[in-house]
A and B are shown apart, each in its own frame.
Chain A
Amino acid sequence: MKDEIDMPGGPACWIVAAGIMVGLLVLAVRLERVQIDSAADSRRRMAVQSERRVQTDAPRGRILARGGAVLAENRLAVSIAVNAESFQKRTWSDTAAKIREAIDAASAIVGRPSPVTDREIMRHLKQALARPLVVWRDIGPDELARFSEHELDLPGFVALEREERVYPNGSLAAHLVGYVGRDRAESVAGDEAFRYYDMEMRGRSGAEYYYDGYLRGVPGEKRLLVDARGFAHDETTIVEAKRGPDLELALDVGVQSVAEAQLAGHKGACVVMDAASGEILAFASAPAYNPNDFVPILRQAVYDGLSRDPAKPLLNRASGGTYAPGSTFKPLTALAAIHQGISPHFAYECIGYYQCGQMKIRCSRTWGHGPENVMTALRDSCNPYFCYLGAAVGTNAVIAAARAFGLGAKTGLDFPTDAAGVVPDDAWKREKYNERWFPGDLAQMSMGQGMLLATPLQMARVAGAIGTGLLATPRLIAGLPPEFSPVPFTETELGFVREGMRMVVAGGTGRKGAENVDAWVIGKTGTAEVGVGAGRRKNTWFIAYAETCAHGADGSPRRMTCPERRIAVAMVVENGESGGGTTAPKVCEVLKHVFGTLAPEQAEGGAQ
């Protein structure tokens, strides 16, 4: 160090060292800014570019009938998909070509050509690169077996499981259960939109539609980590999908099957309701369709076939088909009259027709029933009697009775199809036909014809309300607290009508088939004429109320104070012969299923 004095650069050492330290300090300060102050922002930017939210399907809840019979459930559908990241090439078109090659190779093994086109591959690479591309949807067990055997030779291919809806009972209660389709998923909680989702199962009709939100469950969330080119690297489940709960319907598969069997080959509908709770036990509409044809995708040809069928199998006649109730309305006219003070024993002579101004309304017995009272008129379904009653009490009283029994309004059924039908009045007619209300309209309405329209569901409620005095809100699902509104008629008033309707099945128009039902049954037939000229047809009705009964010494049914079961039924058959001839026996078959059959000797006594 002795020649330091004449050695240049001594201070330079310190200057250089200080300069270097300052420079490194500048870097450190800058790094503090980048790594501490804006760390959160950088992490967010990293997440934006590398994370993709994926919504995962929640398995849909099953639909069960009373007692656990399965109406709709899920089956595991296996698809084979290919992951693009196994075929990465420098260019997208090379990658696509490589995938094509692999798919073709796999086709040979699986034994089915893939429907995936080159364009779809390219589109997949551009839009959903990070997700597997489905090559074969819903493969069969043989194909799956071949695939599994060769899985090691097919790198990049995976078997994906997905739930598909299946209706194990086929067309049973098809209109009630409904069907599902697949649709874009609705994003679950969270403000950022999902990048990817599977087309979600969504109820399209029936209970599947009405209870969609309940059955659907809660979708889960996955996060895919993607690289700079968009290929998937890693996935984390953020939220596990939650299976939707099962929906238990009040529907009784046995009753439903009988009702459908009775309607087989016909067009029509049948609703069986527990009058004590409003629960729907059967809800049949014929012809029906097989909802399994609708999943996983409704093919255009199938849909066209169904929608163009003149028998309209897609129409839900039970709660969506509106028909003139015909004579099944007559008990309500009777109630209106009795309520207005007309004695049920008031006698009116049926001469075979009723003269209403210029119009002659004929009775079914052309030579006339002779003198009738309310009960016998119901038994004989005498038209002039009810035309007279209607005229005697006036339009408003009849309308009030119709409304009191829930006609002309939605029933409140927990179901998407709930037609209100029509209870016409002056205002309605002016609105619709620009015509005033004529006495003839009242006469027609009094016997359930004319512009009056009701659904089988509504008529089942009417039957139940006559039997119990309480108008029940119909329910698809079991175990809900029942809802009733009392009808504004006294038990005595209802008693006369019940007596008349008891006579209907005990020897009147509805006696056919009723004799050996092990229950106390009241009913009313109806034969509504629709159309004119060559299109003239008859829709034949039967509504009934039945309850568990005791038996008298002769075996005849006796009402109990607290009957175990109270059932209301309404059935309509289009183009029938007559309510008593066509429909009543079918309804009685349903009742027999519910209440059982009387032994022949008992039946004889009961028929008297």
Chain B
Amino acid sequence: MNVLRRINWVQVVAMLMLVAIGTTCIWSAGNAREAVFHGMWKANLQTAALGLAIYALLAWADYRKVLQWVSLPAYAGALVLLVAVLLLGSEIYGGKRWLWFFQPSEISKLCIIAFLAQVYGMKEPPAWLRSIGGFGLGCALFGVPALLVLMEPDLGTALALAPAFLVILLAGRIWRRGITVLLVAGALAAAALLGAVHEAERPGVTPDRRETILKYVPLKPHQLKRVKTFLYPDTDPAGAGYTIRQAMIAIGSGGFAGKGIGKGETNSLKYLPPSVSMNDFIFCVYAEETGFVGSLVLLSLFATLCVSCAWIAWGASDTRGRLFALGFATLLFAHVYVNVGMSVGLVPITGLPLPFISSGRTFLLTVMAGLGITQSISIHKEEET
């Protein structure tokens, strides 16, 4: 009885509703594509069922033991897989993200957070861990896999992980000065980058000046194009700006109440490129069909999910649980913010899935596993080990 009372039911309900919404969106987006994708929603349900099993298992298991015994091998395994995908991965759309049937970078998100929580949440941490030494260790633990992910290249995953990493360091009170420096440096770097691209791509700039500026901008051509499209969305409506333009049309034409489920025209008439409509831009499909009302419902569900994680963190009985829950809440939020943000032109386009909604087995399982661990933190908060 105690266990049932300690279960965070809000989280369970929000999660199941998100699975339902996601399956509907995948059904709608898949119908607009080739026949192979028409049954994708069933696959999503199967994956969700598997995810639920994993969720239940991890919720039932004591997260302390899981983190203690599994996080290190998981982290190491993730590193191996990230190296393997670079060597053996199959190339799709110009990136090596797939190893056989899954995406190692998605799994690594959870492994990194779990291991960081395990390291900084240990019961009697040595003094060096709270000072510059710990900071350095954290940078290394985060930096190495982030670098590997960046090499795929998967900028989105690296960017989504960074806030979670910072939150874990912050909440774990690890050398605040370093974190401040990191934050300021990151903000400055981002501002400098955007400023430089803004200046270089400004209409009317001479090619010479553009070349000179871009020499100092460490972006790959396709990344540069995305930043440029973000800053000047109307410059190339048929080319680089096409997807974001269609995304805005889709979301905007949904209006207040939407066009009805399965009736999104931008999607069904393939104006929204089918290659992204089920993954990175699935929010457009959803927003077009359900309108502003639907968007608010979805954001509320994500808010519920994230806040439930924060709530669990606050009530956690040890640091490791708290750090994990906070890190995972931040990870979830980063995905939602970047994904929805890029669909509405707030954030440059980076390939990042929307949790529960985008079709992607690896990520769905990863998210459900993470939530399972937070649920376990809620269930096992009174127990001492």
Q: Which residues in A have some Cβ–Cβ distance to B below 8 Å?
A: 1, 7-10, 12-14, 16-17, 19-21, 23-24, 26-28, 30-32, 34-36, 38-39, 41-43, 45-46, 49-50, 225-229, 233
Contact = CB atoms under 8 A, between A and B. Distances in A.
B252 A42 contact: yes
B330 interface: yes
Enumerate the 5 nearest inter-chain pairs by beta-carbon distance, A residue then B residue, closest first: A42-B252, A9-B171, A12-B171, A17-B310, A13-B314
Interface in B215-273: 248-256, 265-266, 268-271, 273
21 contacts: A8-B171, A12-B167, A13-B314, A13-B326, A14-B314, A17-B329, A24-B337, A27-B299, A27-B337, A31-B287, A31-B296, A31-B344, A35-B254, A42-B249, A42-B253, A49-B249, A49-B271, A50-B271, A227-B269, A228-B271, A233-B269
A92 to B, nearest CB: 16
Interface string B315-329: 101110011001001
Interface string B144-181: 00000000000000000000000100111100000000
Given A14-B314, A34-B252, A225 B346 contact: no
Contacts of B248: 34, 42
Contacts of B326: 9, 12-13, 16
A50 B329 contact: no
A39 B256 contact: yes
B321 to A, nearest CB: 10
Given A35-B252, A42-B249, A30 B167 contact: no
Given A12-B313, A16-B167, A228-B271, 10 more contacts: A8-B172, A19-B333, A24-B336, A27-B299, A31-B292, A41-B252, A42-B251, A50-B271, A227-B271, A233-B268
A226 B271 CA distance: 10
B251 A34 contact: yes
B329 A16 contact: yes
B294 to A, nearest CB: 9
Contacts, number: 147
Interface stretch (B39-47, B57-65, B300-308): B300-308
A9 B313 contact: yes
Interface of B: 167, 170-173, 248-256, 265-266, 268-271, 273, 287, 291-292, 295-296, 299, 302-303, 306-307, 310-311, 313-315, 317-319, 322-323, 326, 329-330, 333, 336-337, 340-341, 344, 346
Contact of B253 (A24, A27, A28, A39): A39
Nearest to A47: B253
A32 B314 CA distance: 32
Contacts of B330: 16, 20
B251 A20 contact: no
A184 to B, nearest CB: 29
Contacts of A30: 341, 344, 346
A244 B141 CA distance: 81
B265 A35 contact: no
A35 B249 CA distance: 9
A21 B266 contact: no
A313 B333 CA distance: 85
B173 A9 contact: yes
A34 B247 CA distance: 11
B246 to A, nearest CB: 8
Contacts of A229: 270
Nearest to B314: A13
A46 B269 CA distance: 11
Nearest to A48: B249
Contact of A46 (B265, B333, B340): B265
A38 B269 CA distance: 21
B273 to A, nearest CB: 8
A21 B346 contact: no
B255 A35 contact: yes
Contact of A35 (B172, B291, B346): B291
B310 A35 contact: no
A20 B333 contact: yes
Given A43-B253, A46-B249, A233-B269, A27 B344 contact: yes
